[in-house]
Structure 1
Amino acid sequence: MSFGEFVKRHLVDTRPLRVPAYRRIWIGQAVSHVGLGVTVVAVSQQVYVLTGSSFWVGMLGLANLIPLVVFGLWGGAVADAVDRRKLLVAGSLVAWLGIVLILAQSIAGVPNVYTLLAAVGLSAAGFAISSSTRGAIIPRLLPPELVPSANALNSLVYSIGAVGGPMVGGVVLQQGGFAAAYAVDAVLFTASLYAAFRLPALPPLGEVSRPGWRSVGEGLRFIVTSPILLMSFAVDIIAMVFALPRALFPELADQRFGGSLLALAWLNSAMAVGAVLGGLFSGWVTRVKRQGLALVLVIALWGLAVAAAGMADQLWLVVAFMAVGGAADVVSSVWRQSILQLYAPDEMRGRLQGVFMVVVAGGPRLGDVRAGATATAFGLTTAWVGGGLACALAVLVAGLSVASFRNYRSR
């Protein structure tokens, strides 16, 4: 095999970037996700400094979860009934306002955990609207055969932000404090705003349902009556709720690594390091046909990698195992998103993307709550390792027991 053939078969497919509108969205996400990673590190550290408790760090997950569920479902329903460009712009502005409010409380010098939770919730509401809308836009910008490749590129850019953001966040926190970190996010987020403003008009296609909870119910019924879609959501919830140890990073850095901010940055970046590598070498992912079975296996691998990381005492080992988990997670996300986008008709995509966004973004927040609560009750190691093992067992039992999902082949 020549070098050119190797690149074509194994490295990420960049053909979607030839489409200008998609390329602007991709670049905007690449820039803004670095800022998001900075804030993720800064706000969790600020809450831990204010309270000294992993439980309150876990409550950041709840502050995100409620608006993600409500506005993700509502935003997806509206995305099927209005111009998706306008809705994306509106959601992005709300998310940016939340970031500005987090910055304002830090500049004012009167930090309060409840103020932080409220500002995080507002940003999450905007994120929910914009994310569900953006997911419904992608199939309108690209031909169907490029949608899986676009999802691989999206996963890659999110992962690059998740690597660069926490590393930048660690440095900025060390040198400039919380206000400087939030200012970086507020500035970088403008790249996403620019990409949204530059999109062409995207009016609804097909039959238009009046946006509201009735149309949300139609989307939920579509999922419930499709075992393939239902299980694709279920396995992701299992992965995030049982195994995600993110809320435990400040406590682990404090207990095992002397409270080092550099160690905290590495812990927050570890999964994304693996996800970047998984995304870069994702050429093979779009050729896998037994996607249901493959999803079960990679999520089980994620759980086992998390459990191994929780038992490691050296920072480089924790990072290595979490990187393996991150690579498995990015592969699973490509398959789950592609199944959903190509399975649904366009007039349902907004609502289904709303549900997808709620699961993808809400699952980790439930995982934060689970991790923080179990660590408080049973200790750090039990919460971390036990969650990973429970994830691997649960996903194997659930995923392999549904024949239609186990035997599903990509369309």
Structure 2
Amino acid sequence: MSSKLRDLLPDLSPWRSSRDFRLLWIAGAVTVFGSFLSFVALPFQLKELTGSPVAVGALGAVELAPLIVFGLYGGALADAVDRRKIILWSESALGVVALGLLLNTLLPQPMIWPLYVAGALTSALVGIQRPALDAIIPRIVPHSQLSAAAALNALRWQIGGVAGPALAGVLIAYAGLKTAYALDTLTFAGSVLLGRGLAPSPAAHDAEKPSLRGIWEGARYAWSRKELLGTYAIDLSAMLFAFPLALFPFLADQLDAEWALGLMYATLPLGAMLVSATSGWTGRIHRHGRMVALSAVCWGASMGVAGLMGNIWLVLLFLTIAGGFDMVSGIFRTTMWNQTIPDELRGRLAGIELLSYSAGPQLGQLRSGGMAAMTSVRTSVWSGGVVCVAAVGLLALALPKLMAYDARTDPHARTLRERKAGEAPAEA
């Protein structure tokens, strides 16, 4: 029984073997908690100021262009500059944006345009930071522990994703938006202080400066790897058609459950956290591509059922289930990326990955808001789930290399295993 329990619980080996992983994990846990406070507060404030689902959904459109531009640039930057410096400077700038939201909220009449500016700036800074965060992991964690590291990193995000939105709902109701933004600002300051303890992570000596040519080199490599393209395409489809977070404030109103808004935002990370907390089994899976596709189908189906439910508790249940399947997909996508992409291209490929798993949600918010305006809130939710299932099914049929991927025999994974085995172990 104890052996079976160990197989189920998360693998803590990256935490034990790498000091830098521990520091990065703790710093991220601090900042993600505050970020989720603003994640709920920003659309809620827009809804209160405008009363329009289109205005809330437009946040996705405002955030998309900076994400594309700076995500690609951030990927090239992560291959050319010390990744630790990128993480620290972008984290500091994100704290300044949170402070701007607080100052706007303290005005006698808060303005609408700063909310969109803050969304765009946050998107740009995340685009710069996330490739460096992703690309630093294979450097500080042994190759055999990358699946475990992906699950632990996801668990960190999910703890904040459950606690942050749940607390945000209470704070907004009883202490106001200003308290949520103030706490977000403080968490960024704490994260920067922790991140200063990370060891430098400089670029290779022969690394080129960030350039369009370098970005194009990364894009050509991604195009040559059809199994990687498959993970991007499936995740993009899942988020585009079945990510209706912009509608949650309106869905809560329709279900006469305004009290449950924070819980609705917490359901997806809660489901993901339950998977991460029982993720020991993931290390025994080798056909990662099949799991990515299957999980995306189940995500869309769960979201579709949630849109059909008229009872708030059933809605919360199926949103939680959807979050769990999204986490399964995320673990195996991340494992494929980290186990097969060379370090000299890791930053640029992380920038492309950022577009696949971040641009999709932005487009999904825009789609769901526009669809709700043309039909209804619940129709937008359930129909998006149905289309997601159909789209992922078609992609699975069209992507044989993704479906045939096996980590035990894939030549790219084998090459990186051999290279990593010849390097010094991660710092304890």
The two structures have a TM-score, normalised by structure 2, of 0.93
Any conservation in 1 of the 2:41–2:168 contact (CA below 8 Å)?
Answer: yes
1:271 and 2:268 correspond: yes
For residues 114 and 356 of structure 2, the distance between their equivalents in structure 1, rounded to whole angstroms, comes to: 26
1:299 aligned counterpart, secondary structure: helix
Could you say if the C-alpha distance between residues 338 and 195 of structure 1 is closer, same or farther in structure 2, counting changes exceeding 3 Å? farther
For residues 257 and 213 of structure 1, the distance between their equivalents in structure 2, rounded to whole angstroms, comes to: 51
Any conservation in 2 of the 1:205–1:346 contact (CA below 8 Å)?
Answer: no
Could you say if the C-alpha distance between residues 207 and 234 of structure 1 is closer, same or farther in structure 2, counting changes exceeding 3 Å? farther
For residues 328 and 210 of structure 1, the distance between their equivalents in structure 2, rounded to whole angstroms, comes to: 39
1:332 and 2:329 correspond: yes
Q: 2:154 maps to what in 1?
A: 155
For residues 397 and 286 of structure 2, the distance between their equivalents in structure 1, rounded to whole angstroms, comes to: 16
For residues 363 and 57 of structure 1, the distance between their equivalents in structure 2, rounded to whole angstroms, comes to: 16
Aligned residues: 407
Letter in 2 for 1:235: I
The counterpart of 1:291, out of the listed 288, 291, 302, is 288
Q: 2:29 maps to what in 1?
A: 30
Letter in 1 for 2:198: L
For residues 227 and 341 of structure 1, the distance between their equivalents in structure 2, rounded to whole angstroms, comes to: 16
Q: 1:76 maps to what in 2?
A: 75
Q: Deviations over 1:250-300 (max 9, x none)?
A: 110111125x2x211111111111111011011111211111111111110
Q: 2:126 maps to what in 1?
A: 127
Q: 1:105 maps to what in 2?
A: 104
Gaps of 5+ in 1: none
For residues 336 and 151 of structure 2, the distance between their equivalents in structure 1, rounded to whole angstroms, comes to: 13
The correspondence of residues 7-406 of structure 1 with structure 2, limited to 5 A, is 7-18=5-16, 19-205=18-204, 207-258=206-257, 260=258, 262-406=259-403
Comparing 139-148 with 122-131, which one deviates more in the overlay? 122-131
Letter in 1 for 2:238: A
1:284 aligned counterpart, secondary structure: helix
Gaps of 5+ in 2: 408-412, 414-428
For residues 194 and 341 of structure 1, the distance between their equivalents in structure 2, rounded to whole angstroms, comes to: 27
Comparing 41-50 with 201-210, which one deviates more in the overlay? 201-210
Q: Tell me how large the CA RMSD over aligned residues is.
A: 1.2
Name segments (4+ residues, structure 1) moved above 4 Å. none
Q: Report the alpha carbon displacement of residue 207 of structure 1 after superposing the two structures with TM.
A: 4.1
Q: Deviations over 1:57-82 (max 9, x none)?
A: 11111222222111111011011011
User: Percent same amino acid among aligned pairs?
Assistant: 35
Any conservation in 1 of the 2:228–2:337 contact (CA below 8 Å)?
Answer: yes
Comparing 232-241 with 80-89, which one deviates more in the overlay? 80-89
Comparing 183-192 with 273-282, which one deviates more in the overlay? 183-192
Q: 1:407 maps to what in 2?
A: 404
Q: 2:4 maps to what in 1?
A: 6
